[in-house]
Structure 1
Amino acid sequence: MFRERSRAQEPLRMTRLPLRSTAIVVLWALGCGASGSKAVVPDAPAPAQEKPASGRVWLPAGRFEMGSPAGEAGRDVDEGPRTEWAFERFEMDVTPVTTRAFAALQEQVRAKDPQARWWTDAQTPGTWQGRCNLESPRADHPVNCVDWQAARAYCELVGGALPTEAEWEYAARASTTTAWWWGASFDAEHVVSSVACATRGCAGSTAPVVQAGARCNAWGLCDMVGNVWQWTATAYQEQLGAEEGTVAPSDVPEKPVHRGGSWLNHVPSLFRSAHRGLAYPKNGLTGVGFRCVRRP
């Protein structure tokens, strides 16, 4: 089985709804559990999304099941059991944070968390595929080669937080129930990946972010899958639903989950909405970035 494993700080209101005979549980926590193949059900119809001036978009309140059904092709065992969740509306960045945006605040990030790490183009280790984007001409590409602590510090500096796993999947699905947010089969036009050339990393690098077009889902979120994996605030656990992987504001998870797949990946199943990943820093972080959420 192929695996690319790659997981806010503010109180999050989520409701874990009954699934079959499951009791109702209301969570005011950071971490999230499982979900699945039921549709995301917004409490009110989501308006057509336009590119917002702020670079963020409001996602509608609603509920969904996190995770994947047993019969989904490419499914991993850690994508269940499915659990239904409900959310109040929240904001999410339209795109992954860009190299330009991170560079503008990198000194503040360092001051906020002296343990945070990132690598520039010139510092890219020779064993990593691709290049780190900081201090390169790729200012409009997603920032990559940033560790989890740097991502968290950046989001807090801009008044937000890293999304939990459940928030991320809710946003990625955008009311869909299919394996990929665009449908039941993989379509390379919706992702920046190495699928078309069938070799890990053959795409060469990240691509500039977009704010419209085939790489944007129905809620106006772009590059939710592909281009770079995205850090979440949730610590990895082998099953969804039992313990929600809560990360306290001062803690750093040993195994934070990241989601979405990246330009490095050539296996279509890694871009499914339910796929969960863990980063292995020894293999490099050129395929890892992040985006932020803001909650009312």
Structure 2
Amino acid sequence: MVTIPAGEFLMGSEDAFAYPGDGEGPVRAVTLPSFRMSARAVSNAEFRRFADATGYRTSAERYGWSFVFAGLLPDDFPPTRGVAAAPWWRQVEGADWRHPEGPQSTVDERGGHPVVHVDWQDARAYCAWAGKRLPTEAEWERAARGGEQGRVFPWGDELEPGGEHRMNVWQGEFPRYNSEADGWYGTCPVDAFEPNGFGLYNMTGNIWEWCADRFRPGPGGRHVTKGGSYLCHSSYCRRYRVAARQGLTPDSTTGNLGFRCVLD
């Protein structure tokens, strides 16, 4: 855990990259007390310790399936139902946090990668076991900014300053071709790339992270997720920015959705 100092910051965005329909604006001043946040997203190894100690079964394990990015499936994988508005997501029987791409996959060699296929209740269950909680959206964004004010990314306004990759997102032509210029196709380890000014890793890219808050605007019953993921690309999803947000129903489970914890 790292300490995020008390203070005021500017939350939200109204710049050319923002999605007004997501409720990113208006930009407003928010003051928060000091709190502590996990420097890294919860990893497979950490979640395994929780599951082994408690016998906890995630929602995806109980449902018997979850959504997997089609590009991560073997070429001979049998056809399965896709998402109408996002056909690159496939419903895969047997996909869960232990088997991120289905029964033929394992996290045995990915202990340091973020746990995925966890819904909002799964994340809260882990936090409660660990004596922690999910961050509020304001806490998450304050921490992600790393002390910077009004910047697009945790390190500044350039996506790749000096040609250097600072996070794990899609390069190439989505969803057909990923050059893997940043070194990764799916998830990367939770401590990959340089940390931000507060010492936090992968606050943008890699995986979406659950927050405690309800999402507004739009239909109720959704919760905030922040940070974008390894599938974000400027051609269709610029949500790999600190101000960006997404609303998901609390029972959502996908191969790019995880969390980190905070302490008061």
TM-score (norm 1): 0.66
Counterpart of 1:279 in structure 2 is: 248
CA distance in 2, matches of 1:174, 1:86: 15
Relative to structure 1, the CA distance from residue 108 to residue 85 in structure 2 (aligned partners, 3 Å threshold; closer, same or farther) is farther
2:189 is equivalent to residue 208 of structure 1: yes
2:197 is equivalent to residue 224 of structure 1: no
Residue 152 of structure 2 aligns with an amino acid whose one-letter code is A
Structure 1 segment 195-274 matched on structure 2, within 5 A: 196-200=171-175, 202=178, 204-210=185-191, 213-214=193-194, 216-238=195-217, 254-267=221-234, 269-274=238-243
Counterpart of 2:155 in structure 1 is: 182
2:46 is equivalent to residue 74 of structure 1: no
Counterpart of 1:172 in structure 2 is: 144
CA distance in 2, matches of 1:57, 1:283: 28
Shift of 1:127: 6.9
Unaligned 5+ segments in structure 1 are 1-55, 240-252
CA distance in 2, matches of 1:282, 1:169: 23
CA distance in 1, matches of 2:224, 2:129: 21
2:123 is equivalent to residue 151 of structure 1: yes
- Among all aligned residue pairs of Structure 1 and Structure 2, give the percentage whose two residues are the same amino acid: 32
CA distance in 2, matches of 1:199, 1:294: 37
Residue 103 of structure 1 aligns with an amino acid whose one-letter code is R
2:132 is equivalent to residue 160 of structure 1: yes
CA distance in 2, matches of 1:129, 1:233: 30
CA distance in 1, matches of 2:96, 2:185: 12
TM-score (norm 2): 0.73
Residue 62 of structure 1 aligns with an amino acid whose one-letter code is G
Shift of 1:254: 2.0
Relative to structure 1, the CA distance from residue 200 to residue 290 in structure 2 (aligned partners, 3 Å threshold; closer, same or farther) is farther
2:87 is equivalent to residue 106 of structure 1: no
Residue 207 of structure 1 aligns with an amino acid whose one-letter code is C
Relative to structure 1, the CA distance from residue 128 to residue 255 in structure 2 (aligned partners, 3 Å threshold; closer, same or farther) is farther
Runs of 4+ in 1 over 6 A off after TM superposition: 280-283
Give deviations 1:202-246, integer Å, cap 9, x for gaps: 4531111216x53x101000011111100000100129xxxxxxx
Counterpart of 1:45 in structure 2 is: none
Counterpart of 2:168 in structure 1 is: 192
Relative to structure 1, the CA distance from residue 171 to residue 88 in structure 2 (aligned partners, 3 Å threshold; closer, same or farther) is same
Does the 8 Å CA contact 2:154/2:204 hold for their aligned counterparts? Answer: no
Q: Which has the higher strand share?
A: 2
Shift of 1:92: 0.3
Relative to structure 1, the CA distance from residue 265 to residue 281 in structure 2 (aligned partners, 3 Å threshold; closer, same or farther) is farther
CA distance in 1, matches of 2:137, 2:54: 23
Paired residue secondary structure (2:30) = strand
Unaligned 5+ segments in structure 2 are 73-94, 99-105, 179-183
CA distance in 1, matches of 2:118, 2:45: 13
Structure 1 segment 33-112 matched on structure 2, within 5 A: 56-68=1-13, 70=14, 72-77=15-20, 78-106=23-51
Relative to structure 1, the CA distance from residue 233 to residue 281 in structure 2 (aligned partners, 3 Å threshold; closer, same or farther) is closer
Residue 83 of structure 1 aligns with an amino acid whose one-letter code is R
Shift of 1:84: 1.6
How large is the RMSD of aligned CA atoms in angstroms?
2.9
Give deviations 1:144-203, integer Å, cap 9, x for gaps: 000110001101111110001000000001121211121222126111111x22314845
Shift of 1:279: 3.4
Shift of 1:284: 5.6
Relative to structure 1, the CA distance from residue 166 to residue 126 in structure 2 (aligned partners, 3 Å threshold; closer, same or farther) is closer
